[in-house]
Amino acid sequence: MSRRLLCTMAVWTSSSWRPSLTRSTPRLPCTLWRTFFADKGVRIPVMISGTIVDNSGRTLSGQTNEAFWNSVSHVKPFAIGLNCALGASDMQKYIANLSNCADCFVFCYPNAGLPNAMGGYDQKGNSMAEEIRPFCENKLVNAIGGCCGTTPEHIAAIKDMASKYEPRQRPVVEDLMRISGLEPLNYKPDPSNMRSTFLNVGERCNVAGSIMYKKAIIDGNYDKALEIALKQVQSGAHVLDINMDDGLIDGVNAMTRFVNLLVADPEISRVPFMIDSSKFEIVEAGLKCSQGKCIVNSISLKEGEDAFRANARIVKKHGAAVVVMAFDETGQAASCEDKVRMCQRAYRILVEEIGFNPQDIVFDPNVLTIGTGLAEHNNYGVDFIRATREIKRQCPGCKISGGISNIAFGFRGNEPVRRAFHSAFLHHACAAGMDMGIVNAAQVIEDKYELIDKELLEFVEDVLLNRCENATDRMLEYAQTLDPKCKPTAVRKKGTGAGAAAGGKQQSSWRDESVEKRIQYALVKGIDEFAVVDAEEARSCGKYAKPLQVIEGPLMDGMNTVGDLFGAGKMFLPQVIKSARVMKKAVAHLIPYIEEEKRLNGTSGENSHAGIFLIATVKGDVHDIGKNIVGVVLGCNNFKVVDMGVMTPPDKILDAAIEHKADVIGLSGLITPSLDEMVTVAKKMEERGMKLPLIIGGATTSKMHTAVKISPVYSGPVVYVLDASRSVPVVQSLVDKNVEQRQEYCDDIASEYNEMREEFYAGLEDRRYLSLADARAKKCRVDWADPINKPVVPKVLGNQIFLEYDMEAVLPYIDWNPFFQVWQLRGRYPNRGYPKIFNDATVGAEAKKLFEEAQVMLKDLVSKKALKLNAVVGLYPASGEGDDVLVYEDESRTTVKATMRGLRQQAEKDNNDPYMCMSDFVAPKDSGLADYIGMFACTSGVGLDTIIEAHKAAGDDYSYIMAESLADRLAEAFAELLHERVRKEWWGYAPDEKLSTDDLLKVKYQGIRPAPGYPSQPDHTEKSTMWSLLQPDVAASITLTDSLAMSPAASVSGLYFGGKCSNYFAVGKITKEQIDDYAARKDMPIDEAQRWLRTCLNYEP
């Protein structure tokens, strides 16, 4: 028996006697998985015991025992039971419930009755045994014992009674998706009527789905957010979706705080949570706080199978169910075939490799918008329905979900039409096997399919089921006749009585209005029949001196009206496209007259377009509907549009803008990570010194994010555009040939954004920062007395200069992956990365050819010594002093030669992690230890200019780009080689290190190599201190520009920290207090410090 106990891990969840105590159920199994099973690679039996606090039958944290079982069952415990709290008679019904749902052994340790007035227990052994007898008679338990008040007498009596009965047989529990909040949700679909068992996932606690909720979170008004959550549960939500993905929200902190508040509200937390984010650190934050068994939304194959497996394993550790989006490396699945293929591939990995219960897999095959006016979107609804049926067939046990509101996004603003689409879609998708969806719970309950107005339903289903080619046009015409605020079950036509008569008169008499009003009416209604006639009348009526004035006047006035109506939700995407068609037809008629006018004026060689607009969906995002519409609208307004497509890397966008001489750049994106990409593009524009106007648009963007995050990093004009129609007046203003008016417009926008930033930062109630003193008090405290942290004395102190270093010795350290990325060659799984890329069916042959040609050039560079590899490496005595590192002249440590200044983290953390600064990694003077710091600068670019000029003179662009890319790789490889030699030879703190090139590139060595201008020390001006010590400008021909960029460009520099305590970190945002302190320490004007550290400031200077 003792040996058996030694190999059993017992965990009590809430008891007066317990080996381990936790009040938050999911943390228990995660602790088991992470700290023992997963880390140790072993599996031992686990017994889990819970305590119910009173006759409510709930645990201390409020869960019913079945909800508790659902939360921990994924651990596959050896046994589960209840102990303490109640006497046997009161505990029986709860053990019966647990016995029915648990497929493992069940035990019970009741108290000896209830305590008396003095806290003691009066029930005797025989009496207790009789109370326990029904447990044995009904075969509820496999083990029985006693807790408070029991003695050996009690246990003997219980044993004597229980030995006469057969133990409980473990039941066969029906295989269902079993999730939980405080209460269990055991989902058992009814195949004959899936709509009746459909799970409503409440959508209003999603910052992308509710403006009111988003504002509450940004404002720190969590009471309001809780009201929204409660209303959804009260309205019939079975599961609560929680999403914090917004560029203005600290997702981890917001998710942590909100979920902690939710679990404290028993009315809300009785339902399971769906933790929803595209950023996995936010998902984990939500899971760690959630009480029951959650659903994670979502993971996908977008980043390949390795990332998919890693995320799936994390979800499984937390015991959560998971939503899998139909994405893979090629993008989002739109067709039925792609949806099925991607889901089947994910299912195989999850079930066969990760060990997921199929019941816990929820596929989202992408509900895409229909009725857009674009023919390629017409079958999206049918594709989803067909895919649902086939996925359920090929992936037994799985569930199907989706974002229902996406289906009719184009009809926002027209309540009866939009809600009818939702109802009809649910009816048909559920009939095919759909299990759940993110919905407005109250509306989908109210809008029963059978109650939808029959006439409306016919129009809706023509579009939904793609029953006829003109279904969208007919739907739009019918939608115009409805009161946009009525319900789909009680449709009202607008314009009844006198209003209808007036409406009829307007319909029959609009051709009698002025030409300007006729043009406006035709644009709003999308009537192109009279576009040429009206454009010609406007041109020849004598009111407009030039044909261009017709475009700039009545045609643009009409498009502005379209933009206002669309922005107000009174026009829909298909109508906007029709409006653009009218515009295009009218402009096409006017173009020959504009060209003729230019010819007569002697300017026929000029472009006839209004400007060149380059637009792209940013890297990592495959959504392009909005972008395409912007292109249509601007193209029809006489702009030349260069469409870069989707998933476009920043450099590709900017290179194309230069190539096509663009007047304006537009960025589009739908998913939250696209916000970061837009910031990156803006930063790269600034780095390149560009001044082109930058337009920001897309579903996930906002004016506030543009003002706070994008505008500050780019000195050119940055404008947020709400929708496609509004892009026209914005772009026209940005290319206005009247320089004074154009500048006035840009100044107005910049001024507005400055005000918005001030308001935003003033209202950051939930973003707290420690004072500098408090942050320093919570610094990373290294135990310098521990021998593991004892500094190693370098074997070589001072500077070492390397000129014309052997290039051949550097070649093995080259990381080829960035090389292929520069050339836009990326293999798909499983052929991503060097050398697997050569096997890729699409890019493999070209990658191999490129690589071989690179080897030829490398060989030539080596043989001719055409590039000189120069470097300076310095190792110096040093000590930490506060947030700085003192660098000494020599080992006497009497003269400080230079001081490396550091910045410390200040953003408040929710855990006990220290607030880091690089100086923490260097032993201070009072430690009694002599420590050191290193630094380096290296280049492979000396001689590169000569090579480039020769190739350019020969017209060989390919070769000069190849030379540049190889020089860049050589510089990084040279830095890697030098660092290895520092660790093994010159400093010598890791003399026995034996790492492969792959391990070196994965930073598996001791110590770090940070650089000024990067997260651990974001101040570029610290390079000046490095240059004063190393003097690489004199010794190695590596200079700094005014902006502190290194020249030659193929150069790398950084610092060396050798201690095992050192690690990479990001300083993040800092306060004005630290800027003042930092500027004083550096003897730098505050304005200059703020300029160099602008992106790190938690305020607007």
What share of the chain in percent tops pLDDT 90? 55
As a whole number of angstroms, the distance between CA 599 and CA 605 comes to 8
Q: Is the pLDDT of residue 36 over 70?
A: no
Write the DSSP assignment of 211-280 as a string of letters: HHHHHHHHHT-HHHHHHHHHHHHHTT-SEEEEE---TTS-HHHHHHHHHHHHHT-TTTTTSPEEEE-SSH
As a whole number of angstroms, the distance between CA 251 and CA 214 comes to 12
Please report the pLDDT score of residue 448 as a whole number.
92
Of residues 1049 and 866, which shows the higher confidence score? 866
Q: Are 222 and 257 in contact (CB under 8 A)?
A: yes
As a whole number of angstroms, the distance between CA 879 and CA 899 comes to 10
Question: What distances in angstroms separate CA 39 from CA 25, 32, 309, 567, one per listed residue?
Answer: 21, 10, 17, 54
- Is 276 in the active site? no
The confidence band for 579, taking pLDDT boundaries of 50, 70 and 90, is confident
Q: Is the pLDDT of residue 17 over 60?
A: no
- Is 751 in the active site? no
Among the options 74, 318, 427, 623, which is catalytic?
Answer: 623
The confidence band for 839, taking pLDDT boundaries of 50, 70 and 90, is confident
Please report the pLDDT score of residue 50 as a whole number.
86
Q: Is the dihedral of CA 324, 330, 332, 334 positive or negative?
A: negative
Nearest Cα to Cα of residue 530 among 540, 515, 544, 541: 515
Among the options 435, 447, 534, 621, which is catalytic?
Answer: 621
Q: Is the pLDDT of residue 502 over 50?
A: no
Of residues 574 and 191, which shows the higher confidence score? 191
* pLDDT tens for each residue of 714-749: 999 999 998 665 788 899 899 988 888 999 999 989
Overall average pLDDT of the 507-516 stretch: 77
- Is 623 in the active site? yes
> Longest C-alpha distance within the chain, in Å?
116
Q: Is the pLDDT of residue 1079 over 60?
A: yes
Q: Is the pLDDT of residue 311 over 50?
A: yes
Which residue type sits at 423? S
Of residues 952 and 771, which shows the higher confidence score? 771
Rounded to the nearest 5 percent, the helix, strand and coil shares of the chain are 45, 15, 35
Peptide bond preceding 540: is omega within 30 degrees of 0, i.e. cis? Answer: no
Q: Is 59 helix (H, G, I), strand (E, B) or coil?
A: strand
Q: Is the pLDDT of residue 569 over 60?
A: no
Q: Is the pLDDT of residue 576 over 70?
A: no
Q: Is the pLDDT of residue 488 over 90?
A: yes
The confidence band for 563, taking pLDDT boundaries of 50, 70 and 90, is low
Please report the pLDDT score of residue 594 as a whole number.
83
* pLDDT tens for each residue of 320-370: 999 999 999 988 899 999 999 999 999 999 999 999 999 999 999 999 989
As a whole number of angstroms, the distance between CA 277 and CA 206 comes to 10
As a whole number of angstroms, the distance between CA 175 and CA 160 comes to 37
Among the options 14, 73, 278, 674, which is catalytic?
Answer: 674
